[in-house]
Structure 1
Amino acid sequence: MKLVPCLYFFINDDMRWNLFDLSLVCLSLVEVTSSFILLSKGASREGMNLTFLRLLRLCKIAKVLRVLRTLRFFRELRLMLDCVLGSVINAIWCVAMLFFVIFIFALLMVQGLADYLGQYSREFGPESLNEDFVGDIMLWYGSVSRTILTLFQSTTSGIDWRDCYLPLEQSSELVAGMFLVFVGLFTISVWNIVTSTFVEKALKLAQPDLESLVMEHHLKDVQDAQALIDLFCSRGWGFCAEADWAVLKRLALDVLKLGATRAESLREHVLAQPDTCY
């Protein structure tokens, strides 16, 4: 039985934050223990490099973000932070997909240009190649890594894709068409797919959590109760915050006497509320 409260520390709703606190405490213990051992062996404080352990304690700043959940005027800021932190995994997979697509096109284009230059040299001789043309090819597509950078820049406004398309237009029509397909595919499809994944993740994170829903419903109930109290008082039914049983009995009697005519405002107020509240 004594272990139950200790185990609850790791299985409650805040177990992640509790594990986070536990890890910070363990790191502090490691730092203190390491410093004590090194000092006992005669090492100087200047010779100890435990700065990285102290820097890890800066992670405590992350707990400040929990305060933002309770402040209503920080809701937009909290939503943006949640979207940024919650999209890290999506960002990793998106980068992996982008790199895979660019890498495939880069391999095909480099192989196509190498075949074209080799065939042209065999037919007309190496001296027939234009130096400016070869220089442009080597500038934009000299290697696979250089081609990857060129393709990435051409689809992210790093460079004008027309500048790196002109050398391809003078060489192989197949490689030039492949480049146009790449630009169109990225502009129309890939970037929109990547954007939609982040938008979908943001919409999921924008849904209010259970605590926010409970707080909003509680505030709505308080406002509705105050509106009903003001309504009864405005009708002269004698109901107020300090009403006793006699006043409540008189209120019930007045309601029965006045009937639907006097309760029209109350009926309109009730009908105006959402069905989910009742």
Structure 2
Amino acid sequence: MKSFGDNKSGSSWKALRSLRIVRLFRGLRIARILRFVHSLQKLLHCIAATMKSLMWTILLLCIIFYGCGVALAQATADYCREVAVQESGNVNAIPRCNMEALDRYWSSVPRSMLTLLKSTSAGISWELVLEPLG
């Protein structure tokens, strides 16, 4: 039968004591972090409060892009119709533009909106996009 003075059982008690000490230090680290929780909660609340303003800003930008996209797509369609009427002499001519860039950037409302978004976010050069409109 083993006694408490045996080396093997003594080393296991040492391991348990050191484990308790490690747990104590880990608890102290958590206590230090907890004092920042109020600041973190305040920061998260401020971020959540600004999300409402961000959503309204995104909605306003979408409305602006849509309005400008409609106007530019309509102007492009009118120009293409005028060119088709002049070339064929028929008032009911199908509007087809011979300019590839005009068709690529301004042929429909979604394309016009995408072109406006790209040009305002530096995805494409304004000069490249405005050249066909000239």
Q: TM-score, normalised by structure 1?
A: 0.31
Q: 1:86 to 1:167 in 2, by over 3 A?
A: same
For residue 123 of structure 2, what is the aligned residue in structure 1?
A: 158
Map 1:75-114 to 2 at 5 A.
75=39, 80-114=43-77
For residue 142 of structure 1, what is the aligned residue in structure 2?
A: 107
Structure 1 gap segments, 5+ residues each:
1-64, 70-74, 170-278
Map 1:35-184 to 2 at 5 A.
68-69=37-38, 75=39, 80-125=43-88, 131=98, 133=99, 135-169=100-134
Q: 1:165 to 1:66 in 2, by over 3 A?
A: farther
Tell whether the 8 Å contact from 2:97 to 2:103 is kept in structure 1 after alignment. Answer: no
Residue correspondences, number: 96
Q: Secondary structure at the match of 2:133?
A: helix
Q: TM-score, normalised by structure 2?
A: 0.61
Residues 225-253 of structure 1: CA distance to partner in whole angstroms, max 9, x if unpaired? xxxxxxxxxxxxxxxxxxxxxxxxxxxxx
- Aligned counterparts of 2:97 and 2:49: Cα–Cα separation in 1: 52
- Aligned counterparts of 2:117 and 2:35: Cα–Cα separation in 1: 38
Q: 1:82 to 1:122 in 2, by over 3 A?
A: same
- Aligned counterparts of 2:107 and 2:37: Cα–Cα separation in 1: 51
- Aligned counterparts of 1:66 and 1:148: Cα–Cα separation in 2: 48
Higher relative contact order (CA 8 A, sep 6+): 2
Q: 1:168 to 1:80 in 2, by over 3 A?
A: farther
Identity of aligned residues (%): 25
RMSD over aligned Cα atoms: 2.8
- Aligned counterparts of 1:66 and 1:90: Cα–Cα separation in 2: 30
Give the aligned residue type for 2:107: G
Structure 2 gap segments, 5+ residues each:
1-33
